Chain A
């Protein structure tokens, strides 16, 4: 069973979103990291880059595949988890903690309303 913390929001593309005021922290879900298997590289944009909801914002490579990461919201990147460059395994080990990827200043906070809550995401991954 995948870990789906109830205090987070989720995208259908398997990103988690943690709201902190007008900023959100974004990473990939436990389900996603487990599907991907051992993650060997993470490629993220620079601080200051603009993010558009549903567009690609980065790339992960696992032992199985190279996969696009899709932005759950629009906004400006204000922080990037640089530790993932040298330690991409943090995404496997603690995806909701040290495995976070980016912090985004929201452009339109109402976009959060279109994300899934934990129950709906659970349903999404177990359908």
Chain B
């Protein structure tokens, strides 16, 4: 069985969190580290936006500051996510890895098997929904919402028809980085309080629609701790991907690259507000 690296980086600030994912991608693309599964959390709780999202148009920065939330632009696509009571995962693997198919859909499906098995490990009857399927796509589509959990990425993990994990991908230097949020608990009001809407009514409607589409483990009646989730999803990724995960740290090169990326990219206004 193939061995991948398992990284626990715990709770970090937003710039460090995104810098670590990118540093791993670079190291993996240069063949310096094996494919990696990483688990992490956020301190402070942070609003992240997709690579192409327009920060000043979609985010209410006064509200964000008043609530003491962090902010960062991700290297991946998709919409806004409020990272608070969640377990965040990332998977970094070469596009040319034997397990990775040419098809982007298929790569989502394979990597999401780790999530599926993780939820099952924790006792949830999760299912993977393909949004290539028109009917499913329709169910999850909404117009004009800036929030991630109510719009489709490609394979979604759902429990009782509602999305319980949301993922995004980037492909750089022939390497895939997929990361995403596994919802332990969610404060829907808070998420929408830091996004900009034309009116309060629109905001309220977005909150209602979101509640029909996203659900946390707590909403499903289970208090799962961060540690329990790490344990469950570690086993889930091993089983779902048919790999063995061996705990290790960042290499000194990766660590140095993280510091550089914080200073020059993820910690800078020119990156975070570039659009």
Task: Find the B residue at minimum CB distance from A59.
Answer: B51
- Max chain B CB contacts within 10 Å: which of A36, A43, A63? A63
Interface of B is mostly: loop
Structural contact, B152 and A68, CB atoms closer than 8 A: no
Stretch at the interface among B9-17, B103-111, B112-120, B205-213: B103-111
* B153 close to A (CB within 8 Å): yes
* A41 close to B (CB within 8 Å): yes
Q: Which residues of chain A from 56 to 114 have any CB-CB distance to chain B below 8 Å in the complex?
A: 56, 59, 61-68
Interface size on B, residues (CB 8 A): 20
| Chain A min CB distance to B123 (Å) | 30
Q: Which of B102, B152, B153, B168 contacts A35 (CB 8 A)?
A: B102
Interface string of B52-85 (1 = CB under 8 A from A): 1000000000000000000000011100000000
Interface string of B132-153 (1 = CB under 8 A from A): 0000000000000000000011
* B173 close to A (CB within 8 Å): yes
- For the complex, give the distance between the alpha carbons of A40 and B77 in Å: 10
- For the complex, give the distance between the alpha carbons of A65 and B52 in Å: 11
Structural contact, B104 and A36, CB atoms closer than 8 A: yes
Which residues of the partner chain B approach A125 to less than 8 Å between Cβ atoms?
Answer: 102
Which residues of the partner chain B approach A65 to less than 8 Å between Cβ atoms?
Answer: 76-77, 104, 168-171
Structural contact, B171 and A66, CB atoms closer than 8 A: yes
Task: Find the B residue at minimum CB distance from A70.
Answer: B174
- What are the nearest 10 A-B pairs in CB distance? A65-B169, A41-B52, A66-B77, A66-B170, A67-B171, A61-B77, A64-B154, A68-B172, A64-B104, A61-B52
With A63-B152, A66-B51 known, 4 other A-B pairs at CB within 8 A are A35-B103, A65-B76, A65-B171, A66-B76
Interface residues, chain A, with chain B CB atoms under 8 Å away: 35-37, 40-41, 43, 56, 59, 61-68, 125
14 contacts between A and B (CB under 8 A): A40-B77, A41-B51, A41-B52, A56-B173, A61-B77, A63-B153, A64-B77, A64-B105, A65-B76, A65-B77, A66-B51, A66-B171, A68-B171, A125-B102
